Amino acid sequence: MTQIIRSKEKKRFVIYTRCSTDDQAQGDFTTLDAQAHHCKNMLDAFGYELADLGKNGIINDDGYSGKDLNRPGIQLILDNIEKERKFDGIIFFRLDRITRNPRDLYALIDLFRDKNVDFISVRENLDSSTAIGRVVIGILGLLSAFERELTGERVKASAIARVRQGKWVGGFLSYGYKLIKKGDPLPNGRQQHSVVLDQEIAPRLQMIWEMAAENKSLMEIGQELTRQGVKTRHGKDWRKQTLSTIIKNPFYKGYIFYAKEMHKGIHEALVEPALWEKANKMLVAKLPGHGFSRKPKSYDYLLSGLLRCGKCGSHLISISNKGRSGKKFFYYICGRSKQKLGCNELSIPAVVFDKALINYFRKASHNREIIAKGIGDAMREAQLMTGRIDTLVNETEAKLNECHHEAKTLLDLAMSGTVTQGATYKNKMSELDSQIVTLEDKLTKLRTQKTVNDMTANSADYLHETLQFAMQYLDKAPVDAQKSLIHALVKDIVIHNDVIDLKMYLGDPDTVLQADINDCEHNHDGIKKKSPTPAQCRNGAVTEQAVVASVRQQWLPGLDEPLTSAVQLSIPIHKRRARGYLFSLDIPLPAKLQPAPLLRKNIVSQALEYCQYLKDNPGRSYRQAGEYFGVSRARASQLISLINRLPKRFIQDLKYCKNQNILKIYSGRQLLRITRLKTPEKINARLQKLSARLSS
């Protein structure tokens, strides 16, 4: 094993510490403090100094596992290596503090060697600058991984042994049960517990299996539980997913399922096995009311996962229904409204809403004022805030420079012997160090706030450029790529009755949308490609998580990186139901055409004109007269019947009438019915009845 050789030049080192749980990072003197203490002692022994990175040259990852590099502290170190290089080496207490993954360890060794970064482990006394040191570090990494896997196997074997004995192995205890102490504590201080029924809630849960066995739907069961005042474990209303999980859980019939093994438990069963089996048969038999499996969708909902209800805040889910003709219609609906959990918001046609949002993006990409109108006062307030933040930044920088100058002056006086290095000196230096750290933190926060504020102040320009960039690819992209692009643009959408709150990300479109643009260019067939197997991140280190997300290492925020900023647009909704559903964002719909008012004709006046024409032209037949007036022969016959059968006085009174209310009472159809009456007395009686209706 090689020894660390002291260098002639004074190198800058950063101390890295890590613990796996938050409990280890709490207290006056934690395990992180102990690791940093040993590292400082070694640096003092070799005459190295701490780098200006992290908090006084120390970077902590408290509560993070060492199985991969998805930790903000280690990411800060890797980013600094690629950019500023504020240190010459990294020192840590033990090898497994930096990583337990052999592949990550070898990648880090190669990266540190290429970048000329020293790599020191205090406990193992290793130096990565030599060949034998790298070999030993690699072997120790393998042993560390072997120990982690062996520990996992032992824990799993112990849990399986407990299950075979019918004992609960831990985790979330099923709802309706509770733990009580069993006997005295063990010599190691641990207290044993027994699993028993919670008599306050368990008897009220039995109705779940009873109703399911009677083929009651999951929604009906949830509504009945709510009506009886029974809430979930977290005090919320019941959902179908929760009820389905409870009904299928064998723990309630007295069995324990673990590692694909089912064994009889020693705890008391909540329901009889026969009732449990019957309820589950009903649940999986695909009977009406129990349909819970996902059905393949024939429409790709572009905004799924982004929409929220403005009334209750729940996510909008996608559903489909069939019309009378068998055609499918697709909707977004509030999840709580769908399950009748207190929200009554109506559904939104998915196809129409998706097209409306795309059209809004298309118009906004050509007209910046549409975006500025949606942002409203937020942009103006951010512009006003810019000057205040600049003032605070300048004041903080001036105070920080003053503290640095005072500390340097005091240090020079102490080094020259003018001031003794007694308790007063140490207290003053400690006070100055504390002030410097506080001011640096404040300055970092102000600069981050300034960056976010500047982005908000210029958000219209950011969004306009981003939309211009995205709309080049959105129209020609397959559906999967379109969804990917929209999710890269939009954070979430809250839908109210007359307005939507659209939160959009701010940033450089070349970096924000580049991954999605690549999908648009290469994935024209719309088939989802598999994620690549462990890819190498920009820092040269690989991780197990790369199988799931190959760029996870790149976008994981570091300690000094601000979070992605977003701006909210308030966009008015214009909607109207007609033959279909009309929907528009920001641009009002065209005015609805009003039907022309119905003008009723005076049938008596028309009949008199027809009869007068026949008198003036005695040679004309009924058919010829009908052709002159544009009516059929049957209609002409009806007009002559009106004149011959109705009273002369009534005809004279109605001859010049244009009042629509009177003509509505004495319509042509009504008068023709009267002419069919057999006697004049009946005709007069019916006319008097109509006259009474007109008076009332």
Q: Which residue has the higher pLDDT, 374 or 555?
A: 374
Evaluate if residue 231 carries a pLDDT over 80: yes
Tens of pLDDT, residue by residue over 549-604, are 333 233 333 333 333 566 677 777 766 665 556 666 666 656 655 666 777 888 88
629 assigned to some structural domain: yes
Q: Is residue 649 in some structural domain?
A: yes
Residue 430 has pLDDT above 50, yes or no: yes
Give the model's confidence band at 539: pLDDT under 50 very low, under 70 low, under 90 confident, else very high: very low
Per-residue pLDDT, 249: 94
Residue 528 binned pLDDT confidence (cut-offs 50, 70, 90) = very low
State mean pLDDT over 434-454.
Answer: 81
Buried residues in 327-352 as b, exposed as e (16+ CB within 10 A):
eeebbbbbbbbbbebebebebbbbeb
- Total length of the chain: 696
CB-based contact 349:331 (threshold 8 Å): yes
Once rounded to an integer, what is the mean pLDDT over residues 145-159?
82
Measured CA to CA in angstroms, residue 677 lies from 606, 640, 641, 672, 683 at distances of: 22, 16, 12, 9, 6
Residues 418 and 559 reside in one and the same domain: yes
CA torsion angle 199 203 206 207 (round to 10) = -140
CATH number for the domain including 35? 3.40.50.1390
Residue 543 confidence (pLDDT) above 80: no
Give the pLDDT confidence score for residue 209 in this predicted structure.
94
Predicted pLDDT of residue 291: 53
Cα–Cα nearest to 449, from 374, 376, 380, 382:
382
Say if 588 falls within a structural domain.
no
Write down the pLDDT at residue 67.
85
Residue-wise pLDDT for 9-41, tens only, equals 678 899 999 988 765 555 555 788 889 988 998
Which are the contacts of 77, defined by CB distance < 8 A and separation ≥ 6? 14, 16, 53, 59, 90
The pLDDT assigned to 176 comes to: 93
What is the rounded (10 degree) CA torsion for 74, 80, 81, 87? -100
Query: For residue 83, what are the CA distances in angstroms to 76, 80, 115, 440, 538?
Result: 10, 5, 11, 20, 12
Mean pLDDT of 75-98: 88
User: How many separate domains does the chain show?
Assistant: 4
**Looking at residue 174, what is its pLDDT?**
92
pLDDT band at 273; cut points 50, 70, 90: very high
End of a domain among 284, 314, 336?
A: 284
> pLDDT of 160-176, one tens digit each?
998 899 999 888 899 99
- Output the 3-class SS for 186-203: CCCCCCCEEEEECCCCHH
What CATH number should be reported for the domain holding residue 251? Answer: 3.90.1750.20
E-strand stretches of 300-421: 307-309, 316-322, 328-334, 348-349
Bridging pattern class, strands 12-19 and 58-62: parallel
Sign of the four-CA dihedral 34, 36, 39, 44: negative
- Percent of the chain surpassing pLDDT 70: 78
**According to the per-residue pLDDT averaged within each range, which of 33-47, 421-435, 519-533 is highest?**
33-47
Token pair of 587 as six digits? 């641009």
Q: What is the pLDDT of residue 514?
A: 46
Distance (Å) of CA 152 to CA 143, 146, 342: 14, 10, 45
DSSP output for 630-695: T--HHHHHHHHHHHHHS-HHHHHHHTT---HHHHHHT-HHHHHHHHTSSSHHHHHHHHHHHHHHHH
Confidence at residue 552, expressed as pLDDT on a 0 to 100 scale: 28
Residues 214 and 84 reside in one and the same domain: no
Helix or strand run (H / E) with residue 576: strand 566-578
Torsion of CA 585, 588, 589, 592, to 10 degrees: 150
Give residue-wise pLDDT tens across range 118-142: 888 888 777 766 677 767 766 766 7
The answer to whether position 591 is within a domain reads no
SS3 label, residue 55: strand
- Which residue is associated with the tokens 């420079």? 401
State the pLDDT at residue 410.
Answer: 83
- Place 256 in a pLDDT band, splitting at 50, 70 and 90: very high
Asked whether the predicted pLDDT for residue 263 surpasses 90, the reply is yes
What is the helix (H) or strand (E) element at residue 357, kind and residue range?
helix 350-366
Residues 381 and 513 placed together within one structural domain of the fold: yes
Q: What is the mean pLDDT of residues 66-80?
A: 90
Choose the final residue of a domain: 237, 255, 284: 284
Q: Cα separation of 686 and 677, whole Å?
A: 9
Q: Which range (112-116, 467-471, 670-674, 675-679) has the least confidence?
A: 467-471
**Amino acid 136: pLDDT:** 76
- Same domain flag for 412 and 557: yes
Q: What pLDDT, on the 0 to 100 scale, is given for residue 512?
A: 45
Pick the closest to residue 348 from 394, 389, 317 (CA basis): 317
Q: What is the pLDDT of residue 206?
A: 92
303 occurs within a structural domain: no
Burial string for 127-144 (b: 16+ CB within 10 Å, else e) reads: bbbeeebbebbeebbeeb
Q: What is the CA radius of gyration of the chain?
A: 41
Single out the residue of 531, 532, 539 nearest to residue 71, CA to CA: 539
pLDDT tens-place string over residues 289-324: 555 455 555 788 888 889 999 888 888 988 888 887
Task: Determine the Cα–Cα distance for residues 662 and 655; give it in Å rounded to an integer.
Answer: 12
Q: What is the pTM of this model?
A: 0.41
Averaged confidence pLDDT in the chain: 78
| Residue 479 located in a structural domain | yes
Q: Helices in 458-535 by DSSP H: which ranges? A: 459-474, 479-489, 509-512, 514-522
Residues 495 and 627 in one domain: no
Do 316 and 495 touch, CB atoms closer than 8 A? Answer: yes
Same domain, 46 and 124: yes
Considering the domain architecture, whether residues 114 and 19 belong to the same structural domain is answered as yes
Higher pLDDT, 504 or 377: 504
The 10s digit of each residue's pLDDT in 610-669 is: 888 888 888 888 778 888 888 888 888 888 888 888 888 888 888 888 888 888 888 888
Considering the domain architecture, whether residues 111 and 225 belong to the same structural domain is answered as no
Task: Answer yes or no: do 617 and 502 share one domain.
Answer: no
Distance in angstroms (rounded) separating the CA atoms of residues 278 and 196: 24
Cα gap 99→109, rounded to integer Å: 11
Shared-domain flag, residues 468 and 376: yes
Please check whether residue 27 lies inside any domain of the structure: yes
Sequence letter at residue 55: K
Which of 284, 302, 331 is a domain's end point?
284
pLDDT at position 648 is 87
Give pLDDT, residue 549.
31
**SS3 for 536-557, per residue?**
CCCCCCCCHHHHCCCCHHHHCC
* Lowest pLDDT segment from 240-249, 262-271, 498-507, 526-535: 526-535
SS (H, E, C) 232-264: CCCCCCCCHHHHHHHHHCHHHHCEEEECCEEEE
- 279 and 398 housed in the same domain: no
Which of residues 30 and 671 earns the better pLDDT score? Answer: 671
pLDDT of residue 428: 84
In this structure, the strands spanning 89-92 and 126-127 are unpaired
Q: Are residues 439 and 561 in the same domain?
A: yes
Phi, psi dihedral angles at 187 (to 5 degrees): -55, -30
Per residue in 312-369, pLDDT tens? 888 898 888 888 787 888 889 998 888 877 788 878 888 888 888 888 888 877 777 7
pLDDT band at 385 (very low <50, low <70, confident <90, very high): confident
Domain that holds residue 626: 603-695
The reported pLDDT for the residue numbered 210 is: 92
Domain membership of residue 428 (yes or no) is yes
